[in-house]
C-alpha cells in the first residue's frame, strides 16, 4: 500500500475515534483534503483511494486540477483568501467557498452567481484569534455579515470557518474552536432566512481532533495526507 493510502486510512481512523470520543456520529465529519501544491496525478490517486472532497487555496492552481480531474466524481472547496476581483473565477467552480469575510466579497459572489444562474454556497470566515495578519471578520461583526450575505439572492450561507492562532499544542487551540461553535449556535438561534448554519469548518493536520471535539463538520487536512509541502 502506498504511503498516501496508509495516511488516508489513518486519518479516517483518527476522525472516527475523535468523533466517537465526543459522542458524535463519525459521518457528520467530512474530510476536506487540502491539495495546494499537490499535483493532479496525486490527487487522482487520493480520489481512487476514496477521497471525494478537495480544498484549494488559489483559484488559478485549482482550475487546472479541476479540469484534469473533470471525470472524477469529486467535490472542490475554496479555502484560501479570495479577492473580490477573483470571485468571477471561483463562483460555480467550487461547491463551497469557505473564506467569505466581507460584504463586498459576498456581493461580488452574488453578482457572479446571478450571471451564471446558480446559488453559491459559502461559509463566513471568522478571525476568532483577532490576529491582525489573518483574514476573517471579527466575532462581533459575524452575525451581521451572515444576515447580509444570506439576504443575497444567489448566495447561501452554510456556516462558519476559522483559522485559529497557531499553537504547537492542540489543547491551546481548542478554546478557539469552542468559541466558533458557540458563535455558530448564537447565529443559528437568530433563525436567519437563507442561512443554514450547519457547517463548522475548523481543524487542520495539527489540531483536527480538538476541532472535532468542539463540533467541526469539515476538517481541512493537507500535510497528514500528502506529506510536507515543499
Ligand atoms: C494549508 C491549509 C490547510 C491544511 O493545513 P495542514 O496543516 O497541511 O493540514 C487547512 N486550511 C487552510 C485554510 C489552509 O490554507
What CATH code is carried by the domain that includes residue 161? 3.20.20.10
Q: In the chain, how many domains are there?
A: 1
Whether 3 shows a pLDDT value over 80: the answer reads yes
Nearest to 22 by CA among 215, 219, 221: 215
CB of 57 within 6 A of ligand 1: the answer is: yes
pLDDT in tens, 115-160: 999 999 999 999 999 999 999 999 999 999 999 999 999 999 999 9
Distance 193 CA to ligand 1 centre (A): 31
CB of 134 within 6 A of ligand 1: the answer is: no
Task: Please report the atom of ligand 1 found closest to the CA of residue 205.
Answer: 9
pLDDT at 230: 79
pLDDT class for 2, splitting at 50, 70, 90?
A: confident
Nearest to 201 by CA among 70, 91, 89, 94: 94
Residue 196 domain boundaries: 3-226
Residue 13: what are its φ and ψ, rounded to 5°? -60, -45
- What is the pTM assigned to this prediction? 0.97
Q: Report the chain's mean pLDDT, rounded to a whole number.
A: 97
The CA-CA-CA angle for residues 143, 149, 154, to 5°, reads 155
Amino acid at each position: 500500500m502506498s504511503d498516501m493510502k496508509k495516511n488516508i486510512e489513518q486519518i479516517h481512523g483518527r476522525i472516527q475515534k475523535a468523533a466517537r470520543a465526543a459522542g458524535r456520529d463519525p459521518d457528520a465529519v467530512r474530510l476536506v483534503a487540502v491539495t495546494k501544491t499537490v499535483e493532479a496525478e496525486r490527487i487522482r490517486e487520493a480520489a481512487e483511494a476514496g477521497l471525494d472532497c478537495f480544498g484549494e487555496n488559489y483559484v488559478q492552481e485549482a482550475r487546472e486540477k479541476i479540469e484534469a480531474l473533470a471525470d472524477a466524481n469529486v467535490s472542490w472547496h475554496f479555502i484560501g483568501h479570495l479577492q473580490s476581483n477573483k470571485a468571477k473565477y471561483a463562483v460555480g467552480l467550487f461547491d463551497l467557498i469557505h473564506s467569505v469575510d466581507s460584504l463586498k466579497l459576498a456581493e461580488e459572489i452574488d453578482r457572479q452567481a446571478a450571471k451564471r444562474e446558480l446559488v453559491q454556497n459559502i461559509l463566513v470566515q471568522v478571525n476568532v484569534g483577532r490576529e491582525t495578519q489573518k483574514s476573517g471578520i471579527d466575532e462581533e461583526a459575524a452575525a451581521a455579515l451572515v444576515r447580509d450575505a444570506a439576504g443575497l439572492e444567489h448566495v447561501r450561507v452554510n456556516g462558519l470557518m476559522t483559522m485559529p492562532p497557531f499553537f504547537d499544542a492542540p489543547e491551546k487551540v481548542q478554546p478557539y474552536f469552542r468559541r466558533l461553535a458557540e458563535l455558530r449556535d448564537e447565529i443559528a438561534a437568530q433563525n436567519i432566512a437563507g442561512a443554514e448554519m450547519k457547517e463548522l469548518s475548523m481543524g487542520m493536520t495539527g489540531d483536527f481532533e480538538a476541532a472535532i471535539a468542539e463540533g467541526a463538520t469539515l476538517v481541512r487536512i493537507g500535510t497528514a495526507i500528502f506529506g510536507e509541502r515543499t
